[in-house]
Amino acid sequence: MAGLQPGLSSDPDRIALPSRVPLPARTRTAELAEDATAALALAIDGLPTRQERRGPIDLDPERIGASYRSAALFRRDGEPPSVWDPLSGFFRARDGWVRTHANYPWHAESLARTLGLSGTRTRDAAAEAIADWPARELERAAFAAGGLAVAVRTAASWAAERGRAWPPPAIRLRPVGDARPWSGGTAAAPLAGLRVLDFTRVIAGPVGTRVLASLGADVLRVDAPHRPEPLWQWLDTGEGKRSALLDLASADGRRILTELLAGADVVVTGARPGALARFGLEPEQLAERRPELIHARVRAWGADPDRATHPGGDGASPWSDRRGFDSLVQAATGIAVAEGSGGRAAASGADVTPGTLPAQALDHSAGALLAAGIIALLGAGRGGTVEATLEGFAGLLLGAPLLAPTELSEIGDPDRLAGPGSVDGPLGTVAIARPAYQAAGVPDPGPWAGRQFGEDRPAWRDGAAGG
């Protein structure tokens, strides 16, 4: 283990890793992947049903690297997915760079409206429009309109802007209630009998709940009917789960939600703070309703030192209230500059072309630690809250010295990562990278053929709840 210390790790000497995870980057991305996966493995081995397996834990660096790069390795009928919308990516603004995210139609619509685009939304049209905007002005306008764009900053400028809020904790546990040791599960399915209600999408939350499903939990993902998930994205992290569509704004939807919550052991959410208050799904609301429940949340940005105004003093909304994704956090915090062209000049704020990590490593690490936190609370027999913050994982990377370009050869070539297995199913021939870690003694289900998104009833496996 490398010592970036994402939290929750104990007994690191039990971890055996034969070589570095092949995720080459100037920031210590490979080490973050190693430490996050190790923390997850140690948490799983802390469950009561695994008392007899407290020996060395072997990690597979190739498997970890492939899992982190699952979007790049995914294939359906031999074809890669269309991961990025034309309006997503880095664009040069009038006074710097911005990073946009428009992979969901509603975000693309908001950004296009902000930019004044009509008709065909091409990358060239977006580039032309963005070139006229000051970067931070576009950032404020896009967020205000419900879109997603951030100005690319250096690590130093982001730290100064965030002040005492930087860096936020990557992972935080708040146990509540009396200890009630987890009594479910078996050696082969340590979380059998656990009910997990999953309201997350994209990568971090789904990666975390996939871990729980792999250990035998009944994971039911719930999405709004009018907010579909790209099929490839669901297939990439949906293994072992069921998926239902439910309109929480309707009377019937609220009734079913109440029934599902009554039977749930764990609720996992990924919306920005306050966004789910009208459905009673904020941590404080759930704790008041059911103190014994475990609530896990992924958030993009940490808390602000002064919620009345934006830390930069420009009157914009606090960062903690904003939507965000891994790619946007990389851009805002200085990772994009550190990974950009220009070598060490990037760290000093020289004008460089921004770059990216070799994987959505903030997301994958947050997912691993989110699952580890849930498992830690279960092992302790406690309810409470687990919170993973992408900005905090960025802080772990930026708080460690950058690797010199000459050191990258030691990490390896990402194109040589072990690829996923392929399997034929009703959705074609699907190739999906395996999860980063499978606990010894827990059957690895092998390649997943997949199932359609939203095809299940909103009910637990035993039929309780739902209509």
Q: What CATH number did the domain enclosing 350 receive?
A: 3.40.50.10540
Instruction: Name the more confident of 310 and 218.
Output: 218
Q: Three-state SS across the chain?
A: CCCCCCCCCCCHHHEECCCCCCCCCCCCHHHHHHHHHHHHHHHHHCCHHHHHHCCCEECCHHHHHHHHCHHHHCEECCECCCCCCCCCEEEEECCEEEEECCCCHHHHHHHHHHHCCCCCCCHHHHHHHHCCCCHHHHHHHHHHCCCCEEECCCHHHHHHHHHHHCCCCCEEEEEECCCCCCCCCCCCCCCCCCEEEEECCCCHHHHHHHHHHHCCCEEEEEECCCCCCCHHHHHHHCCCCEEEECCCCCHHHHHHHHHHHHHCCEEEECCCCCCCHHHCCCHHHHHHHCCCCEEEEEECCCCCCCCCCCCCCCCCCCHHHCCCCHHHHHHHHCHHHHCCCCHHHHHHCCCCCCCCCCCCHHHHHHHHHHHHHHHHHHHHCCEEEEEEEHHHHHHHHHCCCCCCHHHHHHCCCHHHCCCCEEEEECCEEEEECCCCCCCCCCCCCCCCCCCCCCCCCCCCCCCCCCC
Please check whether residue 223 lies inside any domain of the structure.
yes
The confidence score (pLDDT) of residue 315 equals 45
- Whole-prediction pTM: 0.93
Asked if residue 466 has pLDDT above 60, the reply is no
Q: pLDDT tens digit string along 66-78?
A: 999 999 999 999 9
Average pLDDT in the chain: 88
The confidence score (pLDDT) of residue 176 equals 86
Q: pLDDT tens digit string along 47-63?
A: 888 876 678 899 999 99
The confidence score (pLDDT) of residue 462 equals 78
Instruction: Name the more confident of 366 and 415.
Output: 366
159: left (phi over 0), alpha (psi -120 to 50) or beta: alpha
Q: In what order do the strands lie in the sheet with 242-245?
A: 171-176, 383-389, 294-299, 266-269, 195-199, 218-223, 242-245
Asked if residue 306 has pLDDT above 50, the reply is yes
Instruction: Name the more confident of 217 and 284.
Output: 217
The confidence score (pLDDT) of residue 409 equals 55
* Band of pLDDT at residue 120, cut at 50, 70 and 90: confident
Please check whether residue 240 lies inside any domain of the structure.
yes
Q: What is the percentage of the chain residues whose pLDDT exceeds 70?
A: 89
Are 424 and 358 within 8 A, CB to CB? Answer: no
- Residue 299: which residues within 8 A CB-CB, separation 6 or more? 270, 272, 273, 320, 324, 387, 388, 389, 390
Angle at alpha carbon of residue 348, lines to 342 and 349, rounded to 5°: 75
Asked if residue 142 has pLDDT above 90, the reply is yes
Please check whether residue 284 lies inside any domain of the structure.
yes
Single out the residue of 35, 112, 34, 85 nearest to residue 233, CA to CA. 85
Burial class of residue 172 (count of CB atoms within 10 Å of its CB; 0-12, 13-18, 19+): middle
Asked if residue 235 has pLDDT above 90, the reply is yes
Summarize the confidence of residues 134-163 as an average pLDDT.
96
Please check whether residue 102 lies inside any domain of the structure.
yes
Please check whether residue 305 lies inside any domain of the structure.
yes
The confidence score (pLDDT) of residue 133 equals 97
The confidence score (pLDDT) of residue 423 equals 86
Summarize the confidence of residues 103-131 as an average pLDDT.
93
Please check whether residue 51 lies inside any domain of the structure.
no
Please check whether residue 412 lies inside any domain of the structure.
no
Q: What is the percentage of the chain residues whose pLDDT exceeds 90?
A: 68
The confidence score (pLDDT) of residue 317 equals 62
Asked if residue 310 has pLDDT above 60, the reply is no
Q: pLDDT tens digit string along 433-461?
A: 999 999 988 988 777 888 899 999 999 99
* Band of pLDDT at residue 22, cut at 50, 70 and 90: very high
Summarize the confidence of residues 410-422 as an average pLDDT.
58
What range does the domain containing 310 cover? 81-403+447-467
What's the total number of domains in the chain?
1
Please check whether residue 53 lies inside any domain of the structure.
no
The confidence score (pLDDT) of residue 321 equals 84
The confidence score (pLDDT) of residue 412 equals 53
Q: pLDDT tens digit string along 316-342?
A: 568 988 999 999 999 999 999 999 986
